[in-house]
Amino acid sequence: MKRVRLLASVLAVVSTAFAVPGVAVSAPSPSAAPAVVQRLGSVGYCPDANGVTVVVDYQGLGFATEIRCAPGDQATGLAALENAGFVVTGTDRWGKAFICRINGQPTPATEPCVNTPPASAYWSYWHSPNGGSWTYSQFGATGRKPPLGSFEGWSFSQNAGPDTNPPPRVAPVRP
């Protein structure tokens, strides 16, 4: 019993020190099943216009595209990204005003996220109305409020410049 209390205390300290939005951590009890990690939002497109569909295209990193729904009204593009269930890391210098990592990509070995990543390897930010086409955002994710029913897109590419960074490869259209 003492080990369980000690473990619970350690987990409480660790979960406070390393809190990640959208990730739930709870201390075990002697009779409880292991804790389940819960992500915000839901997998797939928002079923209707009462939410913001978020598309994260890892194309320059070699991973599949993820589509998730941030339900309801979203205050900013950053809020939509996080409320859809993506884990976001900013830079040491600028915080989340500059998105450096989404769901741990690119890895710390590739990009330390101390300052702004290079213009040839970064997460570009896009938006679109449902049924429209992707538009490169002229605002950062903290400076834009996505309309209900719209799409927010994130695309990572390498060896592309600001004029050649491709939009997400998924059309912004709710099925």
Q: Residue 173: inside a domain, yes or no?
A: no
Q: Residue 5: inside a domain, yes or no?
A: yes
**Spatial separation of the C-alpha atoms in residues 117 and 93, rounded to whole Å:** 11
Q: Inform me whether the pLDDT recorded for 161 exceeds 80.
A: no
Bigger pLDDT: 15 vs 106: 106
What's the pLDDT at 38? 57
Q: Inform me whether the pLDDT recorded for 56 exceeds 90.
A: yes
Q: Inform me whether the pLDDT recorded for 148 exceeds 50.
A: yes
Rounded to the nearest integer, the mean pLDDT of the chain is 81
What's the pLDDT at 26? 29
Does 10 share its domain with 58?
Answer: no
Does 120 share its domain with 154?
Answer: yes
The three-state (H, E, C) secondary structure of the chain, written as one string = CHHHHHHHHHHHHHHHHCCCCCCCCCCCCCCCCCCCCCCCCEECCCCCCCEEEEEEECHHHCCCCEEEEEECCCCCHHHHHHHCCCCEEEECCCEEEEEEEECCECCCCCCCCCCCCCCCEEEEEEEECCCCCCEECCCCCCCCCCCCCCEEEEEEEECCCCCCCCCCCCCCCCC
What range does the domain containing 30 cover?
Answer: 1-38
Does 77 share its domain with 129?
Answer: yes
What's the pLDDT at 80? 98
Please give the average per-residue pLDDT across 39-47, as a whole number.
93
Range from 68-72, 108-112, 128-132, 147-151 carrying the lowest mean pLDDT: 108-112
Report the CATH number at residue 47: 2.170.130.30
Please give the average per-residue pLDDT across 113-135, as a whole number.
92
Q: Residue 21: inside a domain, yes or no?
A: yes
Does 22 share its domain with 52?
Answer: no
What's the pLDDT at 22? 34
Does 29 share its domain with 12?
Answer: yes
Query: What is the count of structural domains for the chain?
Result: 2
pTM of the model: 0.77
Q: Inform me whether the pLDDT recorded for 33 exceeds 50.
A: no
Q: Identify the sign of the CA torsion 74, 76, 79, 80.
A: positive
Q: What are phi and psi of 4, to 5 degrees?
A: -65, -45
Q: Inform me whether the pLDDT recorded for 67 exceeds 90.
A: yes
What are the tens digits of pLDDT across the range 77-96? 999 999 999 999 999 999 99
